[in-house]
Amino acid sequence: MINKPTEVREFDVCVVGSGAGGAPIAYELAKAGYKIAVLEKGGWYREQDFKKDEMLSRRKIFRSKIGDEPHVLEKPDRNGGWSSNETARFWGGNIVGGASNFMSGYFHRLKPEDFRLLSEFGAIDGANIADWPIDYDDLEPYYTKVEQLIGVSGRVVPHPNLEPRSTADFPFPPTAEHAIANWFDKAANELGLHPFPMARAILTQPLNGRNVCEYSGYCGSYGCRSGAKGSARAALLDHTVLTGNCDVITHAKAYHINTDSQGNAVSVDYYDGQGSSARIKAKIIVVACYSMESSRLLLSSTGKKHPQGIGNRYEQLGKNLHCCAGGTGHGIFDLTRFTPRQAADLKVRGPFFNRALQDWYFIDDKAAFDKRVKGGTIDFVFDPPAPTADANKLKWDDQHNLLWGSAFKKRLASHFTESRDFKFEVFCDWLPTDDCHVSLDGSRKDKWGSPVARVKVGYHPHDLKVARYLVNQGVQVMKRMGAQRYFGNAFTAPTSNLIAGGLRFGRDARTSALDSDCRVHGTDNLFVTDGSFMPTGGSVTPTWTIYANSFRVADKIKKQLGMTSILLAASKNQDLCVENLVQNGLRSSVA
């Protein structure tokens, strides 16, 4: 279905993808006066389109259709081999603003040690660990910029692993706290831990036309009705288009980046909403369409200088993909075992339970590990209400027998009126390995005729060991809080969101796909700014880091465009001087 483009438009910069990696580029460069095109495969939805309806989930409405463009999944089987019979869908959001529309907005910075994981903790057999080509100080000003522009609410509380900050506190006060937050603080303190309120990319004060949080309880996995959530669309792109310098082209599926005889990017071909091929020509091209899809686009974009895909001279495209290792756990509180006041507090819906622990971000426990190792973060949360999904799961008893009639009614009543489920989520590093990467599938194609991504998702055993250690710590906190039931599980399956890597940045083109400015090796003007650039993921959700790095790269691109303009102006002046000399010389000879 590859067609010759019927429409060609020219811009200074073309950004493929409108999420946390792409929107800062468009925002900064449009403000600087450059003409920007943003290609977004999904539609443009606004606050009024997001309903607090469990059935209107992103999986059905705001994500790509798995039949149109699946990912072929290759994962470990039980016999030591690999199974590739499944298809999966790893997009977090097929929509202007991408997955940032549906994030929970847990915002943690990386620690300085995360930038030097290899030199700090040493090599691990079978893991492709690498230090970053930049350090924490390079990114810190941009973390601060995100706090102010995206809108991060919180309160800095000193704890042993608090990262350095250039500002004393967050620019917005913390979100409203749940009635039992003090239960958690008390239990954690009794265990000798250091609880702290979790920063959220959710407004508690109005900002740039965005309203504050409504505390409906429907946050993570749901679009925000008030605009309080710091999505790339609400926080950046809504304002970017008002400059008059940015065109966001929706329902635009990019399928090929074209390069010139030197190997530099010159244009992007895409299919529009009617299935016709069109082209954007630009001086700078930025790819930010989610880790797997960014790798897929570069692998698909072959040319004379890039026969295996742009920047794939050393076969680094798609390599060192990483997900988010960890696990989850629950504390079930039996309301009948508490005083009426305590039960009423447990039943409160709406306010966030913003608490986290990073006491084990670095683990120095000789009983569990033979040396100091990198650990992770435990976030304590309430899940958004999901009564339909809960009821569907409750129809099965503990022996997996189907319940019905009075037995089922009794179980439903107990679940919804006599108990409260409190949850924790563990985040730790998914170490990059040779068994986790993206390639092009040899047989499956999407509805536009392009090969789909084939995703191999092997994990390192070290990830599971760290995750189990952290899950056990979370269970102990639940127990101390007074939960009647408590349990947790570490997982090895990749999450459909929180995926990064695949196009890691580094100083050596033989072991990385991008340079330290996130420019594709072998090109002068092609950048990647989604989570693909991350050599390792840290032990937190990556969105804040993706935002910060994108603002950092935007400054690099502005500088490059400025230098290009100066050189062009100088060239024109030189031509004009030559012309004047010739004319003056001729006049002299005539005289």
Burial of 285 (0-12, 13-18, 19+ CB in 10 A): buried
Q: How many angstroms separate the CA atoms of 284 and 265, rounded?
A: 7
Q: How many helices (H) and strands (E) does the chain have?
A: 12, 21
Paired tokens of 517: 């400015």
Contact 390, 408 (CB under 8 A): no
According to DSSP, the residues that pair with 501 across neighbouring strands are: 321
- State the helix-helix crossing angle for 405-417 and 387-394, rounded to 10 degrees: 140
Long-range contacts made by residues 437-443, C-beta under 8 angstroms, separation at least 24? 437/318, 437/319, 437/320, 437/321, 437/502, 438/291, 438/292, 438/295, 438/296, 438/299, 438/317, 438/318, 438/321, 438/502, 439/299, 439/318, 440/296, 440/299, 440/300, 441/72
Sign of CA dihedral 240, 246, 247, 250: negative
Looking at residue 401, its pLDDT comes to 85
Q: How many angstroms separate the CA atoms of 326 and 539, rounded?
A: 9
- State the helix-helix crossing angle for 23-31 and 543-590, rounded to 10 degrees: 40
Q: How many angstroms separate the CA atoms of 27 and 554, rounded?
A: 9
Query: What domains appear along the chain, each with residue ranges and CATH number?
Result: 7-153+201-324+433-459+495-590 (3.50.50.60), 175-198+325-429+460-493 (no CATH)
Question: Using CA atoms in the order 434, 438, 441, 444, what is the torsion angle rounded to 10 degrees?
Answer: 140
Q: How many CB atoms lie within 10 A of CB 192?
A: 7
Q: How many angstroms separate the CA atoms of 54 and 394, rounded?
A: 17
Burial of 125 (0-12, 13-18, 19+ CB in 10 A): exposed
* pLDDT tens, the chain, 591 aa long: 456 788 899 999 999 999 999 999 999 999 999 999 999 999 999 999 888 777 765 556 787 778 888 899 998 888 888 887 777 777 678 899 999 999 999 999 999 999 999 999 999 999 999 999 999 999 999 999 999 999 999 999 999 999 999 999 999 999 999 989 999 999 999 999 999 999 999 999 999 999 999 998 888 888 999 999 999 999 999 999 999 999 999 999 999 999 999 999 999 999 999 999 999 999 999 999 999 999 999 999 999 999 999 999 999 999 999 998 999 999 999 999 999 999 999 888 889 988 999 999 999 999 999 999 999 999 999 888 778 888 888 888 878 888 888 888 888 888 788 888 889 999 999 999 999 999 999 899 999 999 999 999 999 999 999 999 999 999 999 999 999 999 999 988 887 778 999 999 999 999 999 999 999 999 999 999 999 999 999 999 999 999 999 999 999 999 999 987 666 556 555 555 445 544 544 333 333
End-to-end CA distance of the chain: 66
Paired tokens of 16: 């493929």
Residue 443, C-beta contacts closer than 8 angstroms, at least 6 positions apart: none
3-state secondary structure string across 13-43: EEEECCCCCCHHHHHHHHHCCCCEEEECCCE
Looking at residue 88, its pLDDT comes to 75
Q: How many CB atoms lie within 10 A of CB 218?
A: 21
Residue where the block lists tokens 């903790």:
121
Q: How many angstroms separate the CA atoms of 474 and 424, rounded?
A: 7
According to DSSP, the residues that pair with 393 across neighbouring strands are: none
Q: For residue 576, what are the CA distances in angstroms to 572, 581, 585, 589?
A: 6, 9, 14, 20
Paired tokens of 26: 């468009």
